Amino acid sequence: MLVMKKVIIINGPNLNLLGTREKDIYGMETLEEIAKKVNAEAQKHNIDVSFIQTNHEGEIIDKIHEAKGNFDVIIINPAAYTHYSIAIRDAIKAVEIPTIEIHLSNVHAREEFRSKSVIAPVCVGQISGFGSFSYILAINAAASI
Ligand code: DQA
């Protein structure tokens, strides 16, 4: 029997505002629209996706802890926390679940503070700059892990 891979996609602060927020940088799609595309892609790969968003650092950490034993891969867009949350980094390291960091924008082509990720070193890899397609690429990466 083919076993379904379980993936949790965690979206950090302000990503609930996609579709209205800095459209020139983040595009016109809402997070809900991205979630629909992600689900369609996940089905092709026999992946069961849980897609969540929170504006709270502690909640992200709780979700990472709860992923232990429940999910095979974490995909995370930590948003601004990418650049300074040692607590999220430590949580990812602690649970030992393969994690993929993603960004809509190319964080390396923007303000200098965005090119530093404290999360990336504890991840399998980082996908950045492809808009909502970063999420689709991440599903494909998760399928291959
Ligand atoms: C982001 C990039 C971050 O620097 C920023 O704080 C975000 C979104 C992205 O997806 O491009 O909120 O993670």
pLDDT of residue 23: 94
Would the CB of 108 count as within 6 Å of ligand 1? no
The finding on whether 92 has its CB within 6 A of some atom of ligand 1 is: no
What 8-state DSSP symbol labels residue 3? P
Residue pair 19/28 in contact (Cβ under 8 Å)? The answer is yes
How far does the centroid of ligand 1 lie from the alpha carbon of residue 25, in Å?
Answer: 9
Question: What pLDDT digit, counting tens, does each position of 74-128 carry?
Answer: 999 999 999 999 999 999 999 999 999 999 999 999 999 999 999 999 999 999 9
Of 56, 65, 81, 103, catalytic: 103
Residue-range domain boundaries for the chain: 5-144
Query: Quick one: pLDDT at residue 115?
Result: 97
Q: Which residue do the tokens 């609930």 mark?
A: 16
Strand partners, 8: 50, 74
* Token representation of residue 138: 């991440």
- Residue-level pLDDT at 3: 80
39-80 pLDDT tens trace: 999 999 999 999 999 999 999 999 999 999 999 999 999 999
CA distance 100 to 75: 5
- Return d(Cα 28, Cα 32) in angstroms, integer: 12
pLDDT at residue 42 in the model: 98
Q: Say how far apart CA 87 and CA 94 lie, in whole Å.
A: 10
Task: Give the ligand 1 atom nearest the CA of 110.
Answer: 4
Q: Is 82 in the pocket of ligand 1 (CB under 6 A)?
A: yes
108 is catalytic: no
Spacing, Cα 81 to ligand 1 middle (Å): 9
Residue 1 pLDDT exceeds 80: no
**Atom from ligand 1 closest to the CA of residue 77:** 13
Quote the CATH superfamily of domain 5-144.
Dehydroquinase, class II (3.40.50.9100)
Closest-lying ligand 1 atom to the alpha carbon of residue 15: 12
> In the structure, what pLDDT confidence band is assigned to residue 9 with cuts at 50, 70 and 90?
very high
Task: Indicate if 103 belongs to the active site.
Answer: yes
- Tokens standing for residue 79: 């948003």
